[in-house]
A and B are shown apart, each in its own frame.
Chain A
């Protein structure tokens, strides 16, 4: 009886988890169905396995290009965020004077500002910078990367700052006595120690930047620059919805996320927890 109860609980939990993910099931099965099949029963398995809708969806979303854009923008943004935020946070934590505290508090305080409060003046300001200096701020990948770095700097500095404070200062001092420059001390000694928090910063920013829709939608106007969320939005807007094709498109957008999750699950769950609690 006890054994039965135990297995019953196990099975119940598996079923709960599967029901929870049933929208994903519905999405996948319908991406293979013909129109009539889909209208007959959305829950049933497809009769044949045809990738025709996937091919059409890939073509219409220009998926290859959107994937490339998303990948380039995410990787470069996260790379810059990690480099610059760790350097800044280390210096602010170690040179603990009034200026450092004011800068640090400014970073933290602005985390309160929702994106909607900044979006319009941001675009106006970027437009002004572009017309006065000629720097390519709007409608370019580099401009978008610049803005991603600016928006995600605060949280990264905050996380690094907390971590740096837990590292004993004696290590750095002895290196400096030996004549090493700040630059060498940071990259040789400090940065390797920061690795656990760097993983957290990478995870949080990859998720945020990969999925971001609103900022890219305001910055990018060229079709050829669209990221995956943008391509998805226009895919749904431009054509009268054929659900089988639409579902195929959505499955495509989720595949990279699932692969990322499968590879880094442990780090992701740890990173999310740390990012939230602090």
Chain B
């Protein structure tokens, strides 16, 4: 087999996918950095004006952008807690020796397969009409009213729907973690007289740290990037109270036609997400060495 021949095979195997990948991901990424230094309204007939770093400087004082970043942070922290508490709780129940565990696991995971857009629409109905009826039936009308028209409650509605979607996913990761705990360790703790909560606190949770790290950072990056549920549940409303970053960037570019400025925001968005993800990889790797 000649060397020349081998090179040809290399191209046949690698090139087709790499060309597609470069066209769709790599090249647009660099074009995107380029666009972020211009002011442009997106119409090809209109000129692109070079503004240097102005777009980046401008967004430091952009109240709407900062507010959106703040809302995203609030959403992320709330989701982080709720998703992981539910996910871990489900995993603990489902790994116990109950006969209905399999059924429950199937049900808990189900929402994750339904697309975010459709989930948001289902819950739109529940938060508006469903809650109204529950309010009338139970008398707690101050709690069970339309959350989606309330600037404070709409954010919580978003957290609930997102948690409903993601809890099953995190449950799967925690289940894998729990199943990797050796049976002898649990038995030893039981013989030593540790009760359920002592075992949970002193044996299970410490050994679940790798799964916890993965879940926390996955939730972090998913919630930072949330778009579909946001669009179908609240569309950023009421009064921009739930316009999270991904939606904010979309609106800046395609809604307000600030292509250059919106792209600068998109680049910042990338840097933040890259930082989060790289920290995740770093910490997971560090833990793996320790284990």
Does A214 reach chain B (CB closer than 8 Å)?
yes
Contact check, B29 vs A117: say whether CB atoms are below 8 A apart. Answer: yes
Give the number of residues in A that approach B within 8 Å (Cβ atoms). 85
Cα A110 to Cα B125 with chains together (Å): 38
Across the interface, A260 reaches (CB within 8 A) one of B34, B113, B129, namely B113
Contact check, B20 vs A236: say whether CB atoms are below 8 A apart. Answer: no
Contact check, B227 vs A116: say whether CB atoms are below 8 A apart. Answer: yes
Q: Enumerate A125-142 residues with CB–CB distance to B below 8 Å.
A: 125, 129
Which of the segments B69-77, B146-154, B266-274 contacts the partner chain? B266-274
Cα A111 to Cα B273 with chains together (Å): 11
Contact check, A116 vs B115: say whether CB atoms are below 8 A apart. Answer: no
Contacts of A117 in B (CB 8 A): 29, 32, 266-267, 269-270
Does B117 reach chain A (CB closer than 8 Å)?
yes
Contacts of A111 in B (CB 8 A): 277
Contacts of B32 in A (CB 8 A): 117-118, 120-121
Contacts of B103 in A (CB 8 A): 14, 17
Residue of B93, B98, B122, B259 contacting most chain A CB atoms (<10 Å):
B122
B interface: dominant SS: helix
Contacts of A246 in B (CB 8 A): 121, 125
Per-residue contact bits, chain B 60-104, to A (CB 8 Å; 1 contact, 0 not): 000000000000000000000000000000000100101111011
Q: Enumerate B19-48 residues with CB–CB distance to A below 8 Å.
A: 20-21, 23-29, 31-32, 34-35
Residue of B17, B111, B259 contacting most chain A CB atoms (<10 Å):
B17
Q: Enumerate A96-133 residues with CB–CB distance to B below 8 Å.
A: 103, 106-107, 110-122, 124-125, 129
Per-residue contact bits, chain A 67-101, to B (CB 8 Å; 1 contact, 0 not): 00000000000000000110110111001000000
Contacts of A110 in B (CB 8 A): 21, 25-26, 29
Q: Which residue of A has the minimal Cβ distance to B34?
A: A121
Given contacts A10-B99, A233-B117, A250-B122, whether A214 and B227 have CB atoms under 8 Å apart is yes
Given A125-B23, A211-B117: 4 more A-B contacts, CB < 8 Å = A10-B98, A243-B129, A253-B115, A276-B172
- Chain B's nearest CB lies how many Å from the CB of A23? 5
- Interface positions of A (Cβ within 8 A of B): 9-10, 13-14, 16-18, 20-21, 23-24, 26-27, 30, 38-39, 41-43, 84-85, 87-88, 90-92, 95, 103, 106-107, 110-122, 124-125, 129, 146-147, 149-151, 153-154, 157, 176, 181-183, 186, 207, 210-214, 229, 232-233, 236, 243, 246-247, 250, 253-254, 257, 260-261, 265, 268-269, 272-273, 276-277
Cα A120 to Cα B252 with chains together (Å): 11
Q: Which residue of B has the minimal Cβ distance to A150?
A: B24
Per-residue contact bits, chain B 185-223, to A (CB 8 Å; 1 contact, 0 not): 000000000000000000000000000001000100000
Contact check, B133 vs A42: say whether CB atoms are below 8 A apart. Answer: yes
Contacts of A247 in B (CB 8 A): 122, 125
Q: Which residue of A has the minimal Cβ distance to B247?
A: A116
- Chain A's nearest CB lies how many Å from the CB of B98? 6
Contact check, B232 vs A233: say whether CB atoms are below 8 A apart. Answer: yes
Contact check, B9 vs A182: say whether CB atoms are below 8 A apart. Answer: yes
Does B282 reach chain A (CB closer than 8 Å)?
no
Given contacts A153-B20, A232-B117, whether A272 and B31 have CB atoms under 8 Å apart is no
Contact check, B176 vs A277: say whether CB atoms are below 8 A apart. Answer: yes
Cα A154 to Cα B262 with chains together (Å): 26
Across the interface, B273 reaches (CB within 8 A) one of A114, A149, A186, namely A114
Contact check, B125 vs A30: say whether CB atoms are below 8 A apart. Answer: yes
Cα A87 to Cα B29 with chains together (Å): 25
Given contacts A92-B14, A120-B35, A151-B25, whether A13 and B104 have CB atoms under 8 Å apart is yes
Contact check, A272 vs B115: say whether CB atoms are below 8 A apart. Answer: no
Cα A213 to Cα B130 with chains together (Å): 26
Cα A181 to Cα B13 with chains together (Å): 12
Contacts of A207 in B (CB 8 A): 113
- Chain B's nearest CB lies how many Å from the CB of A276? 6
Does B108 reach chain A (CB closer than 8 Å)?
yes
Given contacts A92-B14, A118-B32, whether A151 and B24 have CB atoms under 8 Å apart is yes
Does B291 reach chain A (CB closer than 8 Å)?
no
Contact check, B269 vs A90: say whether CB atoms are below 8 A apart. Answer: no
Q: Which residue of A has the minimal Cβ distance to B86?
A: A20
- Chain B's nearest CB lies how many Å from the CB of A5? 12
Q: Which residue of B has the minimal Cβ distance to A230?
A: B117
Contact check, B110 vs A95: say whether CB atoms are below 8 A apart. Answer: no
Across the interface, B116 reaches (CB within 8 A) one of A14, A20, A211, A260, namely A211
Contact check, A23 vs B164: say whether CB atoms are below 8 A apart. Answer: yes
Does B263 reach chain A (CB closer than 8 Å)?
yes
- Chain B's nearest CB lies how many Å from the CB of A58? 16
Per-residue contact bits, chain B 114-132, to A (CB 8 Å; 1 contact, 0 not): 1111100111011001100
- Chain A's nearest CB lies how many Å from the CB of B62? 16
Residue of B108, B130, B225 contacting most chain A CB atoms (<10 Å):
B130
Contacts of B118 in A (CB 8 A): 211, 229, 232, 250, 253-254
Cα A207 to Cα B250 with chains together (Å): 23
User: Nearest 9 A-B pairs (CB), nearest first?
Assistant: A150-B24, A211-B115, A91-B13, A121-B31, A17-B107, A84-B17, A121-B32, A122-B28, A121-B28
Contact check, B21 vs A236: say whether CB atoms are below 8 A apart. Answer: no
5 interchain pairs, CB-CB under 8 A: A10-B99, A21-B111, A26-B125, A103-B14, A211-B228
